[in-house]
Amino acid sequence: MPAKDDPIVIKKYANRRLYNTGTSTYVTLEDLAEMVKRDENFVVQDAKSGEDITHAVLTQIIFELENDRNGQNMLPISFLRQLIAFYGDQMQMVVPSFLEQSMMAFSKEQERMREQMDKAFGGSSMDMMGMSAPMKMVEEQTRRNIEMFQNAMRMFAPTPPAPNQGAAREDNAGEEAPRSDDLKELREQIADMQRKINSLGGS
C-alpha cells in the first residue's frame, strides 16, 4: 500500500484507458482534471513499461480543455505563438522555470486576494461583489507578470554590435565571436529573474 503522502498512481493501458490504483476504478481525462483542481497529487505511468508519462497526459488534458467547444480558451494565440517560438531557442531552458515560478506567484497572489476579501466581506465575498473587483486585481497581477517577462526577454537579448565593430568582425570571420550568454552569466540572470518573480508572491 502506498504511503499517505505518496502520489496516486494512474496506469494508462494500450487501449488508452486510465486506471486509478487508489480507488481501483477506471477514470477519464476529465476525472484527472478534477483531481488537479482538488489538488490531488498523482502520477501517470505506462501500464506495460512503468514509464512516467504524467507530462504527456497533463498536456493532453490542456489540449482537450482548449478544444472544448462548450468551454472558453484560456491560452491566447499570442502566448501560444511565443511559446512555440521558444522551442529550440536559447531561451528554452529558461522558460519552464519562469512559467513555474510565475504561476506559483500568481497562485499566492490569488490566495492572498481571496483571504483579504473574505476578511472584509465574509465567505460570500465573491457573490456579493461580483467579478469586477477580483478581475481588476487579477488583471493587475497579469500586467505585472507580463512586464516581468518582457524585462527578462530584454535581459537575455543579445546586445547589438557598435557601428565600428563591423570591420573587426569581418577581419575575425574565421574566429568564433565571444558568447555574451556564457553559462555563469546565464545562471546569475536566471537566479535574479526568479528572485523578482518570487517577490510578487510576497508583495
Number of domains in the chain: 2
On the question of pLDDT at 51 being above 70, the answer is yes
Beta carbons of 22 and 9 less than 8 angstroms apart: yes
41 and 82 co-located in one domain? no
pLDDT the model gives residue 73: 82
- pTM for the whole thing? 0.57
The residue range of the domain holding 28 is 8-66
Could you tell me if 126 and 50 lie in one domain? Answer: no
Mean pLDDT value across residues 135-139 = 61
Q: pLDDT, tens digit, for every residue of 72-127?
A: 788 888 888 988 888 888 778 888 888 888 778 777 777 777 777 777 666 555 55
Residues 30 and 130 reside in one and the same domain: no
Closest CA to 101 of 169, 148, 65, 43: 148
